[in-house]
Structure 1
Amino acid sequence: MKIKTLIPIFSLLLLTSCKTTTNNITYFQDLDNQVTTIGKQTVNYTPRIAPDDQLSITVSGTDPNAVAAFNMPLASYLAPGEAYVTSTPVLHTYLVNSHGEIDFPVLGKLQVANMTRSELTDIMTEKISAYVKSPIVTIQIRNFKVSVLGEVNKPGMVNIPNERLSILDALGMAGDLTIYGNRTNVLLIRDNNGQKEYHRFDLTSSETLTSPYYYLQQNDVLYVEPNKARKGNAKYSQSGQFNISLASTIISALSILASLGIALLVK
């Protein structure tokens, strides 16, 4: 009778354990199965230009000769580890210096730090209009990237071709979290004018979707810390883990044999 009484208890513990594990890995658990609309966000995700950013700036117009003075010539570079210069020329980039300036042809030094791409486009269009009729200025931030580290399947640097990148996009490009990633405590590190900002996301809560940090900025760093299971495993060496696994297997086998023997005796 005692063994029969223990079986439901073990079953209950097993189900509870499975439920706890599921709760630790499921995203946005507070969203139900019904169609839900989350309030419109007023967060401006447009990045602002910062020192050390690389900008590609091209000026076009109806008269190519008139805008030629504002465009640096295409250049070919020798890539690291290569013996020959690449045959495909690339656009010249302007490096924003530590004072937030770039040195642009004809216009000279321009203060560009803390501007959005759209704001700088408007200012440069106005300045170049003094020399060229109806110029078209195209600006891109060439080094828009974020780093995703920790318990993800593909940690490393993620290069972004556009200006809109959410935390979910970045984690998706990094192959999603591993089963050992702590989904309730994802750390964001951001450099804001030389000051470090820190924010933590709980991916099991829908509040992440309305966070002012939901959209990332260039050079942000995401760190997914290991969960308790991973931290516990790290305390043991590989040989120690093997021994524990072997001992667990033996104990389980003996337990099954003992249960079968007792069952036969009861009959």
Structure 2
Amino acid sequence: MRTILHIIILSAALMLASCSAPKSSLTYFEDLSGTQSGTLPSTDYEIKLRPDDELLITVTSLVPEATAEYNLPLSNPATQSSIMTPSQGKQQTYIVDKSGDIKFPGIGMIHVDGMTTSQLASLLAKKISAEVEDPYVKVVLVNFRINVMGEVNRPGSIEVNRERYSILDALADAGDLTQYGERDNILLVREENNGTKTFHHLNLNDSELLSSPYFYLQQNDVVCVNPNKIRKDNSKYNQNNAFKLSVVSAVTGACSVIASLIIALVIR
């Protein structure tokens, strides 16, 4: 009798274990949870310019007339787009061509592919300073956009208005991960300067991400939050139930048609 009781208890325990939900940590940077404070290595956030980038470039100085020729007029045919600015109204922008160049007024063609916005600003200021005293050049990337997909509360395209933009910023703007998102398996798809696409898996449970070269995002990055096992199992369960329901409905419909035919034949 005691042996039978032990078998029943063991069987019940195995059933409970098999029915328990898989463990999925919802904690960000879980490896830091046991540490009160500390320091983390930093990483470079400046993005590199590439073809099809849209740039807003303004040149100013103490004498505005001296830098007028270095600012695009609204009707300049060299530009392909325009942007509204609160202080200056509608301004033309530069589109980096397929060769990585822009045509800058008063200077000519400049190869900008691979440069940062600050490097381009310094280069332009140096060239313009040969004619203008103390020029100030501001370069802004205006088509910085990333896409967040998958298990987040607000998936979609995000227009970024600053260069210092991390994976955490993107997830925050997307409403954070749902409870079904895999925090240790975030997929980042990136288009490199040479046109090739690379992918990287990021772990939000590990603080090493903070010093990763992929912590800060670049233009056109795609962030995919994969569903965890619970979400996948629920999806399969719902699909199976939907299939069973469709089969039952089809069988029921067929039986109804057959029954109607039999009744019609009997009545005749």
Normalising by structure 1, report the TM-score: 0.75
Rate the CA distance shift 1:239–1:197 in 2: closer, same or farther, 3 A.
closer
Q: Deviations over 1:87-109 (max 9, x none)?
A: 98322110001000111111111
Q: Output aligned runs, 1:91-110, within 5 Å.
A: 91-110=91-110
- Where 1:179 maps in the other structure, the secondary structure is coil
SS of 1:25's partner is: coil
Q: Aligned partners of 2:239 and 2:41: how far apart in 1?
A: 50
| Residues 12-60 of structure 1 deviation map (CA, whole Å, 9 limit, x = unaligned) | 958x946x54x4322222222432314322x211001111100000000
Please show how residues 150-189 of structure 1 align to structure 2 within 5 Å: 150-189=150-189
Match for residue 132 of structure 1? 132
**Cα distance between partner residues in 2 of 1:242 and 1:34:** 50
CA distance in 2, matches of 1:97, 1:218: 16
Distance 1:87 1:124, change over 3 A: closer
- Counterpart of 2:26 in structure 1: which amino acid? I
Q: In structure 1, what is the Cα distance between the partners aligned to 2:16 and 2:164?
A: 45
* Paired residue type of 1:208: L
SS in 2 for 1:24: coil
- 3-state SS in 2 of match to 1:120: helix
CA distance in 2, matches of 1:127, 1:207: 41
* Residues 109-258 of structure 1 aligned to structure 2 (within 5 Å): 109-193=109-193, 194-237=195-238, 240=241
Identity %: 44
Provide the aligned C-alpha RMSD in A.
3.1
The match for 1:81 is: none
| CA gap 1:170/1:58 in 2 versus in 1, 3 angstroms | same
**Alignment TM-score, normalising by the size of structure 2:** 0.75
Distance 1:200 1:87, change over 3 A: closer
| Cα 1:67/1:162, change in 2 over 3 Å | same
Do structure 1's residue 30 and structure 2's residue 35 form an aligned pair? no
Partners of 2:53 and 2:96 within 8 A in 1: yes
Q: Which amino acid aligns with 1:103?
A: K
Q: Which stretches in structure 1 are left out of the alignment for 5+ residues?
A: 76-85, 245-267
Q: Which moved more, 1:227-236 or 1:63-72?
A: 227-236
Alignment-mate amino acid for residue 235 of structure 1 = K
**Per-residue deviation, 1:161:** 1.4
